[in-house]
Amino acid sequence: LTTDDLVAGCTGAEALGAMVESIGRITEEPWELEVLLNLGAGGCEEARAFEQELAYLRYIRGQQPDMAQDSLIAQKNHHVRAAKRYYKGWLALIQFNGGLEIGGECPDLEQEFDQIVWLAGLINGLLSLNHDILSGVGTGVPKNIAAQAERGAGCLDNRAWFGVPLALKAAVWSLLPGALPEGENAWERLEQADQIGENAHIRLAHVFHIIAAYSKGDMERVRTVIKRHAEHITNHKA
């Protein structure tokens, strides 16, 4: 959580995940760590999927259809593995919640670490569904995860967590048909969350804004938020 070296973070999660999970055979299950490690390990597969997408585009431009098809297949395989890892993190969050469905009664989240686990678990849920869709084959991720995550975000203080709970809610509103509450505007709320995160110099809300825009095919908005993010991190350290 304190490094910008995402490759080291994700490979560390890949290497430690199975070992940490095995601790549950001799003592209490480390659900909190499983949530965090699966989020990190899923990030590895997510990055590999996007690298294959870039390779696919290069092969298309180079008029090498066979190689492009291979990259497309590899890309979908990485999306499948990402979905499974993120979903595993979501299931760990359910266990952390005492086996209860996410989005019902809020658990006791007095400790800051428990709030980090909760937030990471909600992100696991959304990303598992996103990569399940991107895989094009379906991995068994329930479609109601988005609605559960949206309700679960209400258990966190929005200002204390840099606008991320609001960004998560608004992203779901933009993606899920019928989820938008009456009188709300998902894109305005995403802008509001961006501003809260920028003021705190913790810009995680930008990620949800980009995910929502990318999923809607709004590449102009994607480019705008990426440029805004880049300018902000150049001028303001986290």
Q: Which string of b and e fits 135-152 if b means at least 16 CB within 10 Å?
A: beeebebeeebbbbbbbb
Report pLDDT for 1.
62
Whether the Cβ atoms of residue 114 and residue 120 lie closer than 8 Å to each other:
no
Measured CA to CA, the distance from residue 85 to residue 95 in angstroms comes to 16
How many Cβ atoms sit within 10 Å of the Cβ of residue 233?
15
Joined together, the tokens standing for residue 129 give 């569904």
18 Rama class: left (phi>0) / alpha (psi -120 to 50) / beta = alpha
Report pLDDT for 142.
92
Q: Pick the closest to residue 13 from 86, 67, 94 (CA basis).
A: 86
How many Cβ atoms sit within 10 Å of the Cβ of residue 4?
8
Average pLDDT over residues 75-83: 97
Joined together, the tokens standing for residue 116 give 């980090």
Residue pLDDT, tens place only, 205-236 = 999 999 899 888 899 999 999 999 999 999 99
Domain ranges of the chain: 1-146, 157-238
With a threshold of 0.85, does the pTM exceed it?
A: yes
Residue pLDDT, tens place only, 13-48 = 999 999 998 998 899 899 999 999 999 999 999 999
pLDDT category of residue 238 using cuts at 50, 70 and 90: confident
Residue pLDDT, tens place only, 106-133 = 999 989 999 999 999 999 999 999 899 8
Burial label for 13, CB within 10 Å (0-12, 13-18, 19+), is: buried
Residue pLDDT, tens place only, 151-194 = 999 999 999 999 999 999 999 998 887 788 888 899 999 999 99
Q: Pick the closest to residue 193 from 215, 209, 173, 182 (CA basis).
A: 209
Give the 3-state secondary structure of 102-123: CCCCCCCCCCHHHHHHHHHHHH
Instruction: Give residue 128's identity as a one-letter amino acid code.
Output: S
How many Cβ atoms sit within 10 Å of the Cβ of residue 110?
7
Whether the Cβ atoms of residue 92 and residue 38 lie closer than 8 Å to each other:
yes
Report pLDDT for 20.
92
